[in-house]
Amino acid sequence: MADINFNSFPILTSERLTLRQLSLTDQQDIFSLRSDKEINQYLDRKPAETIEDAISFINVINENIKNNNSVYWVITLTETREFVGTICLFDFSNDKNSVEIGYELITRFQGQGIMTEAIERVIDYAFTTLKVQKILAYTHHRNQHSTKLLAKFNFILSNKTDQQNSDFNIFTLAYTENK
């Protein structure tokens, strides 16, 4: 059984990055990210239309963290503290053995290996700290960048399709001892 508790927020670090908790001071960056047509292209979500949408999103996210329902990090460059994207683990199974991963980068920070670095750290956290057995990723079948990222970490394309949207492929990564 996985050990899920985010009450002491898990700040994660890697060579270039600090993954920290979201706060209301991030409202402008969250608005930019969630209203960006290019970023939203392959995501099945309602785009942010106003800054109030971003504020209520931040409040919902932090409430979910408080209730140990999900965990959501702002990805920042450690050197400059710039907000470059987000990554999250959500929709834990009832037995807490599997969880879904989601991620996005501001367009100008794509193509630099930032998500590769962030996802590696989050996968390790999910398997070694949360002790989940399986990570799922739902990604649009035309989302080449996301598919390439998942392939890099040996996610496997499932033969099941997303019941709610058949454009989405489901990828899974199972825990093995040598991860």
Binding residues vs ligand COA (CB under 6 A): 39, 42-43, 102-105, 110-116, 137, 139, 143, 145-146, 148-149
- Measured from the CB atom, the residue of 53 and 162 that comes closer to ligand COA is 162
Q: How many other CB atoms are there within 10 angstroms of residue 112's CB atom? A: 13
- Least distance from C-beta 93 to ligand COA, angstroms? 18
**Nearest distance from C-beta of residue 106 to ligand COA, angstroms:** 8
Closer residue to ligand COA, CB minimum distance, 58 or 105: 105
**CB closer to ligand COA out of 67 and 154:** 154
Nearer to ligand COA, 43 or 131 (CB): 43
Edge-to-edge strand list for the sheet holding 156-161: 12-13, 17-21, 71-77, 83-90, 98-105, 134-140, 168-174, 156-161
Residue nearest to ligand COA (CB): 113
Distance from the first to the final alpha carbon of the chain: 18
The CA-atom distances, in angstroms, between 50 and each of 54, 60, 87, 108, 162 are: 7, 16, 22, 22, 29
